[in-house]
Amino acid sequence: MKQKELSELTDHELLEEAKKLKSFSITNAFLIGFLVGIVIFSLIKSTFGFLMLIPLYFIHKLINDPKAKRSKALNELLKERNLK
């Protein structure tokens, strides 16, 4: 099933999509925080090396995820339509 453009969705569909993406955002924030914690712990223990690049790579992937961009666009559209 192809996803519709956000501007084509009704108000009710937008609110449902926001509920779905909210759990994604919470999970994504938890994972990013956990990985940042690993990086900080590595810096404190002075173990900067190849293994520290792995969490940094995953942080980059989580931030640049297409769902994260869709979530930002959805929040902007919700504010524009005064739904939140």
pLDDT at 64: 86
pLDDT at 80: 86
Calpha distance 33→24 (Å, rounded): 14
Q: Which two tokens stand for residue 35?
A: 């990985």
Task: For the chain, 84 residues long, give each residue's pLDDT as a single digit of tens.
Answer: 346 677 777 888 888 888 888 888 899 899 999 999 988 888 888 777 777 888 889 989 988 888 878 888 888 888 888 876
pLDDT at 84: 65
pLDDT at 3: 61
Q: Which whole-number Å values give the CA distances from 2 to 32, 36, 52, 75, in the listed order? A: 29, 34, 38, 21
Calpha distance 45→14 (Å, rounded): 46
Burial of 9 (0-12, 13-18, 19+ CB in 10 A): middle
Which pTM does this prediction carry? 0.70
